[in-house]
Amino acid sequence: MRVSEPAPAKLNLALHVRGTLPDGRHGLETVFAFCTDGDRLEAEPADDLGLEIIGPFFQGLSNNDNLVMAAARALREASGIKTGARLILNKKLPLASGIGGGSADAAAALRLLTSLWKIDPAHASQVAPDLGSDVPACLLSLATRGEGPGDRLRQLDDATISGTPVLLANPGVQLSTAAVFAVWDGIDRGSLGDWRSGRNDLESAAKSLAPQIENVLVWLTGQAGANFVRMSGSGATCFALFDTEEQRDQAAVGCPANWWHLATFLR
């Protein structure tokens, strides 16, 4: 029996970097939102763990050394399960693009294997923080405020988020999160209140490495019905929230051919 689980694309509606924590990670205040589309993970019972990667962005990914397998191994160890699973990852999201692809895939593996192996969901919550700062939020895949390194979470009850039409666009650039943080200016510009009046503190650093990001932001801002435009995470993917689905789709039609884009909704 094969089962499947979505790995929704993650957006940072706002991202404030508040300095460095004692353990060396960066202190963040952010609002996570998730899309209705993204990667997809399938699994079926097997004696051992194995992974096959397919889809438009499979190149450059290892079948063994990646977050999906790390999540599966960690969950099996935490739960004491001896069986395995054959996993198939359909990689639809671009790599190193600021929309949590790897973290979302790891979280999908935790949810999927919890169901397949019929184990306590507490094991998934236990191992998620060690897999990456975004993985606990991706495990929920709901609008959430994150603090600390991003894994102190509070679910948001914001009716203005769910169902919002959104267009994601990436100029075909991969950006390492570590590289972006390395050129971040280190200035704490203050706390995050309402996400719409917030900012992404990594935008300037990301633009210094990938100037094309400015072109994406300008283009999205100029689209009819776009009421909110921002870069997500450490880039280079940017997004626009739209008044209507029709306006979003019209913008998607006009998206430059050499950019990756995704017309979707917020969950």
**Is 48 an active-site residue?**
no
Cα–Cα distances in angstroms (integers) from residue 135 to residues 16, 153, 158, in the given order: 18, 11, 21
Q: How would you classify residue 55: left for phi > 0, otherwise alpha for psi between -120 and 50, otherwise beta?
A: left
Q: Which residue has tokens 């979280």?
A: 107
- Token code pair at residue 134: 């975004």
Helices (H) and strands (E) in the chain, counts: 8, 10
Q: Residue 53 in contact with residue 19, Cβ under 8 Å?
A: no
In order of 51, 123, 144, the CA distances from 88 in angstroms are: 6, 22, 28
Within 8 A by CB and 6+ apart from 70, the residues are: 106, 131
CB 54 within 8 A of CB 88: yes
Beta-carbon contacts of residue 92 (< 8 Å; ≥ 6 apart): 37, 38, 39, 40, 55, 56, 57
Is 249 annotated as catalytic?
no
Rounded Cα gap, residues 258 and 267, in angstroms: 27
**By C-alpha distance, which of 87, 217, 74 is closest to 135?**
74
Catalytic residue among 39, 105, 134, 151: 134
Which of 10, 91, 92, 207 is the catalytic position? Answer: 10
User: Residues with Cβ < 8 Å from 20, sequence gap 6 or more?
Assistant: 26, 27
Instruction: Tell me the catalytic residues.
Output: 10, 134
